[in-house]
């Protein structure tokens, strides 16, 4: 490591990623909002002018951040926490 560089342990970095204080990004929030409406991935992608893969990635990241099992759980938890 060079002088002035900082090192963050991988375990600490992961704990920040999965902490409650790591809300979904604006794009993830919009996808979760649409998920609450019961829309399918393809429909969300078309509405937001995104690819299906991008929508799936946003949902997957949100599920991981909130440590839940499904996209519906992630959307409900995000709403409960005031992020939607």
Evaluate if pTM is beyond 0.85.
Answer: no
CATH classification of the domain holding 67: 1.10.10.10
Task: Note whether residue 75 is domain-resident.
Answer: yes
Is the pLDDT at 34 greater than 70? The verdict is yes
- List, as one string, the DSSP characters of 54-73: HHHHHHHHHHHHHT-SSHHH
Question: Average pLDDT for residues 14-35, to the nearest whole number?
Answer: 81
**Amino acid 15: pLDDT:** 59
Of 56, 53, 79, 51, the residue nearest 66 (C-alpha): 79
In the chain, the number of structural domains is: 1
Question: Average pLDDT for residues 47-54, to the nearest whole number?
Answer: 97
Q: What is the DSSP letter of 81?
A: T
Task: Note whether residue 12 is domain-resident.
Answer: no
Domain that holds residue 30: 26-80
Taking a C-beta distance cutoff of 8 angstroms, is the pair 3, 52 a contact?
Answer: no
The single residue listed with the structure tokens 């991981």 is 64
Task: Note whether residue 37 is domain-resident.
Answer: yes
Task: Note whether residue 2 is domain-resident.
Answer: no
């Amino acid at each position: 490591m060079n002088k002035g560089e900082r090192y963050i342990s991988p375990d600490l970095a992961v704990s920040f990623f999965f902490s409650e204080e790591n809300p979904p990004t604006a794009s993830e929030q919009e996808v979760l909002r649409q998920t609450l409406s019961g829309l399918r991935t393809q429909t969300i992608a078309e509405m937001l002018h995104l690819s299906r893969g991008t929508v799936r990635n946003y949902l997957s990241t949100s599920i991981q951040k909130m440590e839940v099992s499904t996209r519906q759980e992630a959307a409900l938890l995000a709403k409960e926490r005031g992020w939607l």
